[in-house]
Structure 1
Amino acid sequence: MKRHGRRLAWVAVAAAAFGAWHAWPRPERPHAHAHGSHSVAPSSASWTATDPGTTRLGGRETILVLGSDKRPEDPRGNADVLLVASLDDSHRRIELLSIPRDTQVAFPDGRYHKINEALASGGPEETCMLVERLIGLPIDHYAIIRFDALVHMVDRIGGLDIDVPRNMDYRTGDKVYGVIRLRKGRHHLSGEQALQFVRYRHDALGDIGRTERQQAFLVALKDQLLRPQTLPRLPEVAFDAWKMIDTDMSLGDISRLAARAPQYKTYRTVHTTLPGSFHDPDPSIPGDLSYWVVNPAEARYVAKRFFADGEVPPRIIQDPRETRTWLPPEARAAQRPADRSTSG
């Protein structure tokens, strides 16, 4: 995997093609807690996947898209949006897998943290490594996108048509882009309104609901970028984008992908979120935090089925017990005869 950290052009068509112009960060400031406070690993530590290897699926290129919440006073910021986007030529699909920002993973120090902290602690390289371990598939490239880039690029292509599922009102506390105010219904959103749409998380499902809106945003963005009237302007969009996004992709990589934009228009887009369960902080455990808890074996199973077969998991939000005891279908099938013989 190439990870040279060069600040190079990130062509808008490439971002649209894999769905990679991803949604944006959480409205609040990140929790300012030291890594050392995670001295107690939650129960999920007992079923961490033991196989550190990854399996490469052929005929595709995979990009990890990170939405950074970097603010002027922060040196790097957290990656509060993580999306694995695959341009799958074998199946003529664009596959988008969202990883909730609070997903609990083991860091190189052996302790458990939220995956969104990896960008601040170890840069995009560490974030890519943790995502690879989580889903069992290699990441070819990364792209880091911030507020201004999203706003500017959506405005540059004339806005987006999006269905807003509910009224959205919230004050983020930021000096810039500090207000979220959208009305329910189908609207043509400006860049700043699109940023509001993908940042909002104050509904019953929190970040899980937000990943669904982020995926809707990506589909709308792909459609807008690949419209016949927009395609001729993509070189201009790319020129504007190069200063705004951090990526390890070379200009040759981007030019190759941009040249294939008309082909990507025919690709089917599938999207989902990594299944798991909510973990609320236990006041009796020092340093315990809220997490999105995933079963590592399930994460790899779901990711492989999603990228290889386009199969979307039937349920994203699980009961914690279901997450802890998850088994692949073949293992569950093997248990049934034993269960029947025991009951008899």
Structure 2
Amino acid sequence: MKKKFWTTFLISFVVFSTIFAIIGHRMLNMDSMASQEEDDYDLEAEKIIEEKGEILFLLMGIDDQDGSGGVESVKAKKIEGENRHRPTGKRTDTMILCKYNFDTGDTTMLFIPRDSRVSIGGRKSMEKINHAHSYGGPYLAIKTVKDFLNVDLEYYVTVDYLAVKEIVNAIGGVEIDIAERMYYRDPADKPPLIIDFQPGLQTLDGEDAIKFLRYRPKDLGDLGRVENQKLFMKELIKQTLRPRNIIKLPKLIKTYYGYVDTNIPLSLVLKGVGTVNKVDFENINTHVLPGEGKYIGGTSYFIPHEEATRKLMEELFGNFVLD
């Protein structure tokens, strides 16, 4: 039972971070008791999920390297309500539409390039999709993705990249086989950013892991960054589940909790625990939004291919595609 519980911790990091955002909230006695209104909402949500047998949610990663905001900062301020992330002004570095099947444990992930050109509520012109979180927090991000991909989406999980740094350091680093040299220098960044990884098998510590996730190849642009993120996430799950690392997981909960936020009801989280052992970590169904890079008005965007996107959405998320 304990092994399943800690396995769930890993899934939570990638596609089910929810578990410790909610359970951790109660473990740390930061919330007394759910209100009757919340209980009623959980029951209604569970009823809907029961019919579909699956849950759809938006997983977002934000980078708070400068310490100006992020999940931990918002929680410390105890800002409540749907727009509680608005004060941080943080854009998303990672945006993944995730589907989890409660019966089979099948997991589907669609990576949405951060430069995708879309309409955002309240804005006069089309902008990059990663701006949505900055303007209106996770709920505006959800609405933007819902309108863009025409899906029934209401849940989110937000993970601060600092959580990645903590976990990677705790397990002694993550091994990544780097195909070619990754070099980038930004002297204007504070402190100056220098990314320089040689090809071959490398063990990345927490700080290097953040650099790896931020790196964008010149020839592939945002799509290259997405591919790096896919590789890293799969390796992190696999390597954290090694026997020598399982015993290190309990002490990470308190630290990890501060970097995760979600609106998924506890009842839905617990519903998935029983199928955790069915998840095939080597074959998580991952896709990238089809499209191509293009400059418009001097700005680099990712332009989604509408027909290919529509077909992919039907194939991957048919139960949630709106009429």
Q: TM-score higher than 0.5 here? A: yes
For 1:205 and 1:97, locate their aligned partners in 2 and report how far apart those are by CA, in whole Å. Answer: 18
> 1:18 matched to which residue of 2?
15
For 1:305 and 1:186, locate their aligned partners in 2 and report how far apart those are by CA, in whole Å. Answer: 35
Q: Indicate conservation of the 8 Å contact 2:234/2:281, yes or no.
A: no
User: By percentage of residues, which structure has more helix?
Assistant: 2
> Following TM superposition, by how much is the alpha carbon of 1:60 offset from its aligned partner in structure 2, in angstroms?
2.2
Q: 1:149 to 1:205 in 2, by over 3 A?
A: same
> Following TM superposition, by how much is the alpha carbon of 1:132 offset from its aligned partner in structure 2, in angstroms?
1.7
Q: Indicate conservation of the 8 Å contact 1:134/1:299, yes or no.
A: no
> Following TM superposition, by how much is the alpha carbon of 1:181 offset from its aligned partner in structure 2, in angstroms?
2.1
For 2:100 and 2:126, locate their aligned partners in 1 and report how far apart those are by CA, in whole Å. Answer: 31
> 1:120 matched to which residue of 2?
134
TM alignment of 1:113-262, pairs within 5 A: 113-172=127-186, 173-175=188-190, 178-250=193-265, 254=269, 257=272, 261-262=276-277
Q: 1:267 to 1:189 in 2, by over 3 A?
A: closer
For 1:68 and 1:99, locate their aligned partners in 2 and report how far apart those are by CA, in whole Å. Answer: 14
Instruction: Tell whether 2:59 aligns with 1:65.
Output: yes
The answer for unaligned runs of 5 or more in structure 1 is 1-10, 22-55, 284-288, 310-344
Q: 1:188 to 1:180 in 2, by over 3 A?
A: same
For 2:317 and 2:189, locate their aligned partners in 1 and report how far apart those are by CA, in whole Å. Answer: 37
Choose 1 or 2 for highest CA Rg: 1
Equivalent residues, number = 261
For 2:154 and 2:199, locate their aligned partners in 1 and report how far apart those are by CA, in whole Å. Answer: 38
**Percent of aligned pairs sharing the same letter:** 26
Instruction: After superposition, give the CA deviation of every residue in 1:260-286 in whole Å (9 maximum; x if it has no partner).
Output: 543335673121210112221346xxx
Q: Secondary structure at the match of 2:296?
A: coil
For 1:139 and 1:263, locate their aligned partners in 2 and report how far apart those are by CA, in whole Å. Answer: 25
> 1:79 matched to which residue of 2?
92
Instruction: After superposition, give the CA deviation of every residue in 1:130-160 in whole Å (9 maximum; x if it has no partner).
Output: 1122223333532222332221122123322
Q: Indicate conservation of the 8 Å contact 1:78/1:120, yes or no.
A: yes
For 1:237 and 1:140, locate their aligned partners in 2 and report how far apart those are by CA, in whole Å. Answer: 28
For 1:265 and 1:152, locate their aligned partners in 2 and report how far apart those are by CA, in whole Å. Answer: 25
> 2:313 matched to which residue of 1?
303
Q: Secondary structure at the match of 1:221?
A: helix
For 2:251 and 2:273, locate their aligned partners in 1 and report how far apart those are by CA, in whole Å. Answer: 12
The answer for unaligned runs of 5 or more in structure 2 is 1-7, 19-48, 70-87
Measured on the aligned residues, the alpha-carbon RMSD in Å equals 3.2
Q: Secondary structure at the match of 2:166?
A: helix
> Following TM superposition, by how much is the alpha carbon of 1:168 offset from its aligned partner in structure 2, in angstroms?
1.5
For 1:89 and 1:267, locate their aligned partners in 2 and report how far apart those are by CA, in whole Å. Answer: 18
> 2:303 matched to which residue of 1?
293
